[in-house]
Each structure stands twice: as C-alpha cells, then as structure tokens.
Amino acid sequence: MYVSYGLGVGISIVIYLLQLFLGLALGMIQIFFLITTILAFLTPYINALSKVIWANFFFRYDPNFKTNRSKNY
C-alpha cells in the first residue's frame, strides 16, 4: 500500500508537469479530473508494480535454488 501510494503520487506529479510542459491551460478541477482518470486506468498496473517492488525489498532471487535446496535440507 505504501509503495502504490508513492507510485501514484509520482505519476500524478509527472502528469501535472507534463500538462504544464505541453502548455495546456487547464484549471484546477480539470487537472484533478485528468489525474484521477489516468490513475483510475493505471490502477491495475500500479498495484502489480508495487507488489513487485515491495517483494524485492524482502526476497532475494536465487537462480540456483533447486540445486541449493537439497544441500540445505
């Protein structure tokens, strides 16, 4: 949940800066609906990516797990 919140905030900032860079003259309500709509469509991807990022904090990939498993047990 923490990681997906951070990703959502990061994407929101990027969307805001992108609309400024493109020179779109949007009001605050329009920017809010733009960011909300884009985040609503990206929610499944944000959740999947946040799970991967969170798992990488705690689990390490071992390519030799099958061969090392018989030695450890």
CA–CA distances in Å: residue 22 to residues 19, 25, 45, 58:
5, 9, 25, 40
In a domain, 39, yes or no: yes
In a domain, 50, yes or no: yes
In a domain, 34, yes or no: yes
Under 8 Å between Cβ of 35 and 16: yes
Provide the number of structural domains found in the chain.
1
Using one digit for the tens of pLDDT, what is the confidence trace for 49-73? 999 999 988 888 777 777 766 555 5
pTM of the model: 0.74
The DSSP output letter for 45 is: H
In a domain, 3, yes or no: no
Sequence-ordered alpha helix ranges (H) in the chain: 2-21, 28-58, 65-72
- Boundaries of domain holding 45: 26-60
Using one digit for the tens of pLDDT, what is the confidence trace for 31-49? 999 999 999 999 999 999 9
In a domain, 37, yes or no: yes
CA proximity to 10, closest of 56, 55, 50: 50
In a domain, 52, yes or no: yes
Q: Residue 1 — very low, low, confident or very high, per pLDDT cuts 50/70/90?
A: confident
